[in-house]
Amino acid sequence: MTLTLTALPDIPLIRPGDDLGAILLAALAKAGLFLMDGDVLVLAQKIVSKAEGRMVNLTQVTPSPRAIELAVQVEKDARFVELVLQESLEVLRTRPGTLIVEHRRGFICANAGIDHSNVEGSWGNPDDWVLLLPVDADASAERIRRCVAKGSSLKLGVMIIDSHGRAWRNGVVGVCIGLAGLPALVDLRGEPDMLGFRLRITQVATADELAAGASLLMGQTAEGTPAIHVRGFPYPLRESYLGELIRSKETDLFR
Amino acid sequence: MTLTLTALPDIPLIRPGDDLGAILLAALAKAGLFLMDGDVLVLAQKIVSKAEGRMVNLTQVTPSPRAIELAVQVEKDARFVELVLQESLEVLRTRPGTLIVEHRRGFICANAGIDHSNVEGSWGNPDDWVLLLPVDADASAERIRRCVAKGSSLKLGVMIIDSHGRAWRNGVVGVCIGLAGLPALVDLRGEPDMLGFRLRITQVATADELAAGASLLMGQTAEGTPAIHVRGFPYPLRESYLGELIRSKETDLFR
């Protein structure tokens, strides 16, 4: 049983309105990869957000009083904090340099996933541009999946990932922020183990495991390899959505 | 750039005293894999713990008053809770069915990683046997690395992983609990991005990313594929240790 992850070569810098599906198909062809049933494409959030035109110029943002107050606490630009608040449902933790929130889509992360690095706008000072996450990364993944399948009945998965810090452990890891066609969770509850005992209750976050593995190949350059082709994903593909991965507040002991 | 993960075939059920290094070499040969510089072996905690004889029979455990009290709170066997406390530095959260602690080695997990499923002792009722984590999984990984390298100068990594739940997100993912020869973290701080801007401060938890990816191939059966061969790990190998991944209490906002 083998899982093969291949970084697609020569993905160009993505601009608003770019047809990511077509770009991915060209990159797959260049890599000599022909999509097969069960294949998954893992995409860095950044290229999806850029294609969707999610850049904002900070000079166009007017911070609210709350954003101005919070900006002092976390020592960040108040206009940036305003965008974080607009993209969030709740602020979880603040500390100088750190602003951890519940993103609109339910996951917990720093700065609502808004990225200040390596964003190029069409006008003004490059330092004023930031990039928001896709509005609905599940829907983005589904659109890209349809485009890549080109109307065929090919069974594919598409996942959009970002890098998140964790409670308790150092370093960021790739995590799923939206997906189409592959299981976010696989439920191993109640399956018998090799000795015939009942397996302990286990739900495996298969999408996050794949996100982390694929992220390894993206991590070396900021944007050099933002698309990973995966062959050998060891579970049946099925419809799924990000919400499966979001722990309910009632069962979350660490909010 | 390709990352290839291969589940090694026909790893037998492991018993105390088994020579894991020799078993891995035999499995590699059977898979037609010859170790090369830069390869990594990822091992499920369970086979390492079993080889090291970390099974305990609950009938041999006398629970302390604190364990008895806690056992009522979390609705678990007091003897099991006693072992969890012995393996832990601190109890972080309790709730019926849930006992989350800081393991002796510094990481946060449920039940100090003690596993009740699929453990076979040499006597008594199989249900009375549980399995503790390796005493020092970094040292275990180093021993296995030396054995597998057979005194050669081959540059290899060995990592021992377990499945942990997360704050905020459903499902368990594979994480590193001990390693030798591969970087736990890779520091991308200050490296320039493609547009010449300074990259945001980023430390990537490369070991955890690989642990998650490898765990995908282990997850389908309780113990069927507990060893994964990795080729194409995209960072230079170096000496490392679990401690790099443990967030200090001072910087942890979620304990």
CATH number of the domain within which B8 lies: 3.30.1330.100
* Residue of A163, A208, A210 lying closest to B169 (CB–CB): A208
| Domain span including residue B72 | 55-131
- Return the pLDDT at B200: 55
**Residue B78 included in any domain:** yes
How many Å lie between the alpha carbon of A159 and the closest alpha carbon of chain B? 15
- Return the pLDDT at B202: 82
Domain shared by B170 and B222, yes or no: yes
Domain shared by A147 and A42, yes or no: yes
Helix (H, G, I), strand (E, B) or coil at A91: strand
**Residue B250 included in any domain:** no
- Return the pLDDT at A220: 58
For residues B1-6, give the mean pLDDT.
96
Domain shared by A108 and A217, yes or no: no
Which pLDDT band holds residue A254 (cuts at 50, 70, 90)?
confident
Domain shared by A158 and A235, yes or no: yes
| Lowest-pLDDT range of A125-129, B33-37, B77-81, B223-227 | B223-227
State which amino acid sits at residue A142: E
* Residue of B197, B209, B215 lying closest to A216 (CB–CB): B209
What average pLDDT does chain A have?
Answer: 91
Q: What is the tally of structural domains in chain A?
A: 2
A107 to B167: CB separation less than 8 angstroms, yes or no: no
**Residue A252 included in any domain:** no
| Lowest-pLDDT range of A43-47, A220-224, B130-134 | A220-224
Q: Give the integer Cα–Cα distance in Å for B49 and B43.
A: 11
Residues of A in contact with B220 (CB under 8 A): 188, 234-235
Sign of the Cα torsion B2, B5, B6, B8 reads positive
A4-30, pLDDT tens digit by residue?
Answer: 999 999 899 999 999 999 999 999 999
Name every residue whose Cβ is closer than 8 Å to that of residue B245 and which is 6 or more positions away in sequence. A169, A170, A171, B107, B176, B184, B185, B205, B207, B208
Side-chain half-sphere exposure of B112, counting CA atoms within 13 A: 22
pLDDT at B194 over 70: no
A85-94, pLDDT tens digit by residue?
Answer: 999 999 999 9
Q: Please indicate whether residue A115 or residue B144 has the higher confidence score (pLDDT).
A: B144
For residues A160-187, give the mean pLDDT.
96
How many Å lie between the alpha carbon of A94 and the closest alpha carbon of chain B? 9
> What value of ipTM does the predicted structure carry?
0.94
The torsion angles phi and psi of A227, rounded to 5 degrees, stand at -140, 130
**Residue B254 included in any domain:** no
Among B residues 164-193, those touching chain A with beta carbons less than 8 Å apart: 166-175, 184-186, 188, 193
Cβ–Cβ < 8 Å for A211, A217: no
**Residue B255 included in any domain:** no
Asked if A206 reaches chain B (Cβ–Cβ under 8 Å), the answer is: yes
Residues of B in contact with A161 (CB under 8 A): none
Q: Give the integer Cα–Cα distance in Å for B10 and A82.
A: 56
* Residue of A212, A220, A235 lying closest to B173 (CB–CB): A212
Domain shared by A143 and A110, yes or no: no
**Residue A181 included in any domain:** yes
Asked if B77 reaches chain A (Cβ–Cβ under 8 Å), the answer is: no
Q: Which pair of tokens denotes residue A119?
A: 């964003």
Among B residues 102-161, those touching chain A with beta carbons less than 8 Å apart: 107-108, 115-118, 120, 126
Which pLDDT band holds residue A35 (cuts at 50, 70, 90)?
very high
Residues of B in contact with A253 (CB under 8 A): 93, 95, 98, 100, 167
| A89 DSSP β-pair partners | none
Q: Please indicate whether residue B221 or residue A123 has the higher confidence score (pLDDT).
A: A123
Which pLDDT band holds residue B179 (cuts at 50, 70, 90)?
very high
pLDDT at B131 over 60: yes
Domain shared by B178 and B240, yes or no: yes
pLDDT at A201 over 70: no
Domain shared by B15 and B98, yes or no: no
The proportion of chain B whose per-residue pLDDT surpasses 90, expressed as a percent, equals 80
Q: Give the integer Cα–Cα distance in Å for A157 and A155.
A: 7
Asked if B206 reaches chain A (Cβ–Cβ under 8 Å), the answer is: yes
Which pLDDT band holds residue A223 (cuts at 50, 70, 90)?
low
Domain shared by A156 and A217, yes or no: yes
**Residue A193 included in any domain:** yes
The proportion of chain B whose per-residue pLDDT surpasses 70, expressed as a percent, equals 93
**Domain's final residue, options A112, A131, A150:** A131
Domain shared by A86 and A198, yes or no: no
- Return the pLDDT at A101: 97
Domain shared by B232 and B155, yes or no: yes
Q: Which residue in chain B is spatially nearest to A193 when comparing CA positions?
A: B222
pLDDT at A193 over 70: no
How many Å lie between the alpha carbon of A209 and the closest alpha carbon of chain B? 4
How deeply is A122 buried, as exposed, middle or buried, from its count of CB atoms within 10 A (0-12, 13-18, 19+)?
A: exposed
Helix (H, G, I), strand (E, B) or coil at A102: strand
Domain shared by B38 and B141, yes or no: yes
**Domain's final residue, options A131, A161, A182:** A131
B216 to A209: CB separation less than 8 angstroms, yes or no: yes
How many Å lie between the alpha carbon of A173 and the closest alpha carbon of chain B? 6
For residues A82-106, give the mean pLDDT.
96
Domain shared by A99 and A188, yes or no: no
- CATH number at A112 reads 3.90.1660.10
Q: Which of B132, B119, B109, B111 is nearest to B45 (CA)?
A: B132
pLDDT at B7 over 90: yes
**Residue A254 included in any domain:** no
pLDDT at A189 over 80: no
Asked if A93 reaches chain B (Cβ–Cβ under 8 Å), the answer is: yes
- Return the pLDDT at A202: 82
For residues B103-109, give the mean pLDDT.
97
Asked if A62 reaches chain B (Cβ–Cβ under 8 Å), the answer is: no
Q: Give the integer Cα–Cα distance in Å for A67 and A80.
A: 9
**Domain's final residue, options B111, B131, B151:** B131
